[in-house]
């Protein structure tokens, strides 16, 4: 696989997740709420860039829609933060270890594959090359 550097234009996880969120919001008859989130996602970068004088761009990450999904699933509000933390504790720990090993720096590479897409092959059907 070949990778090249790419500036942060969006969180690819958020783009994928957003599609599932929209589908769930239709099923739960909460499309108006989804549309509000989508509008905030669209307008917020413009407001942030203007108010904070940030020109590199900002975008919603995968967590932007998470609370809305928890709400649609009927989870109690008190569980939103613990679920968020549980899902991230390994990453936070890895970042801390990386920070300690690299004299206070966390490296955040952004890469985009430039190789051709290939069909998924289940592990049981793969051969070692």
What's the distance, Cα to Cα, between the start and end of the chain in Å?
A: 14
pTM here?
0.66
Per-residue pLDDT of the chain (129 residues; tens, 9 = 90+): 443 334 456 788 888 999 999 999 999 999 999 999 999 999 988 888 888 876 677 888 888 999 999 999 999 999 999 999 998 899 889 888 988 988 887 777 666 778 888 899 999 998 876
Per the structure block, which two tokens stand in for 92?
Answer: 């936070």
């Amino acid at each position: 696989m070949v990778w090249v550097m790419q500036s942060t234009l969006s969180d690819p996880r958020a783009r994928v997740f957003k599609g599932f969120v929209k589908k769930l919001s239709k099923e739960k008859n909460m499309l108006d709420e989804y549309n509000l989130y989508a509008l905030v996602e669209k307008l917020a970068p413009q407001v942030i860039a203007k108010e904070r004088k940030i020109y590199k761009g900002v975008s919603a990450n995968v967590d932007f829609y998470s609370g809305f999904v928890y709400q649609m699933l009927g989870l109690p509000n008190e569980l939103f933060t613990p679920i968020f933390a549980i899902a991230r504790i390994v990453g936070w720990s890895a970042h801390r270890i990386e920070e300690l090993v690299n004299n206070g720096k966390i490296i955040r590479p952004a890469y985009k594959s430039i190789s051709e897409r290939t069909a998924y092959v289940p592990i049981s059907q793969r051969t070692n090359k």
